[in-house]
Structure 1
Amino acid sequence: MQKEMEPIQDEFKILPATRDDMQKVYDLIVELAEYEKLRHMVIGDVKDMEKWAFGEDPVVFINCGWLNGNIIAYSLHFRNYSTFLCKPGIYLEDIYVQPQYRGRGYGKKMLLFLSKLCYEKGYGRMEWQVLKWNKPSIDFYESLGAEPLNEWLQYRLVGDSLKKCAENFDQLK
């Protein structure tokens, strides 16, 4: 039996994060990592986030979902660029709603907020990842018309492999 969705309440609002919000956002990042069984990968801290969100060269944008004076959700994104479209886009790194507030439309409102931002700025697309086992999220994204990119593999350099590549470049003549 499908869970009946409760309507969005008027008290829910989406606002850009401030420095004062960073500890709560960080706590929600840890909650998300625990849900995804990836807590061991969270090695940064609030100061790191503040640097990249509010420092001299901001690279991330964070929005907070507020309900009755409390942050219950967040999204974190940055701009990317498509050489095929010749347009910028949004890469959604995280979107998270605390479990006790799911099923009320808050996550949908957060995602549609970013979709509108992307569209109104004339960007070409919005992209994100989801873990293969996270069926509720996959179903949610597909219900909005999002499509999986089954033909693409993602690669990552991090830690020692990133360091090794950087050092290899320095050794080139």
Structure 2
Amino acid sequence: MSNYLIREIQENDLDELMLLIEEHTAYEQAVYNGVGKKERLQKELFRENSQLKCWVIEIDNKVNGFCSFTYDYSTWDAAFFIYMDCLYIRSSFRGIGIGSVILARLKVLAAEKQYVNVQWQTPDFNAPAIAFYKKNGALSKDKVRFTLSVDSKE
């Protein structure tokens, strides 16, 4: 197994993060638009008291994955929760347990903060991810996700 380290993102990781986000977008069959993204992420990731957090997965001294998440509030549960926005590991490093370690760390973080749970979503066609999440004890809820754009060009 490769040596790996899960750590908080640093500013010098941003170029690799941009590549990983583009790869993740393609993997999920979505459209990628990188215009201004690096600058906006840099501003938010490194802003004091930001709700956006990001861990990078350094494998053999190279960033090969990431997990981003936010702290959010559920009116249904009347409690805070962690929302995992992205978990992406390059395909050559999947299946060696890193994703399970990330999920476990998120669960511990939520428990330490006395949050109610960790939530996320994945496309319904992503059978390997769905199987992985279920193997790690996650329960699914069928929903349809909507996006209402504020940009008239979309």
TM-score, normalised on structure 2? 0.89
Paired residue secondary structure (2:32)? helix
Per-residue deviation, 1:33: 0.7
Contact 1:65 1:110 in 2 (8 A): no
More deviation, 38-47/137-146 = 38-47
Aligned to 2:11: 19
- 1:112-131 matches, cutoff 5 A: 112-131=104-123
Determine whether 1:159 maps to 2:135: no
- Structure 1 residues 39, 160: CA separation in 2 closer, same or farther (over 3 Å shift)? closer
Contact 2:22 2:32 in 1 (8 A): no
Runs of at least 4 residues off by over 3 Å: 39-44
- Structure 1 residues 158, 43: CA separation in 2 closer, same or farther (over 3 Å shift)? farther
Higher helix share: 1
User: C-alpha separation between the residues in 1 aligned to 2:20 and 2:71?
Assistant: 22
User: C-alpha separation between the residues in 1 aligned to 2:144 and 2:31?
Assistant: 23
- Structure 1 residues 127, 43: CA separation in 2 closer, same or farther (over 3 Å shift)? farther
Aligned identity (percent) is 26
Task: List runs of 5+ in structure 1 lacking aligned partners.
Answer: 1-7, 162-173
Determine whether 1:60 maps to 2:63: no
Aligned to 1:97: 89
- Structure 1 residues 82, 36: CA separation in 2 closer, same or farther (over 3 Å shift)? same
Paired residue secondary structure (1:39)? coil
RMSD value, Cα: 1.8
Paired residue secondary structure (1:159)? coil
Aligned to 1:136: 128
Question: CA offsets, 1:78-130, max 9 Å, x none?
Answer: 01112233221111110000011111111111222111111221100111111
**Largest Rg, 1 or 2:** 1
Per-residue deviation, 1:140: 0.7
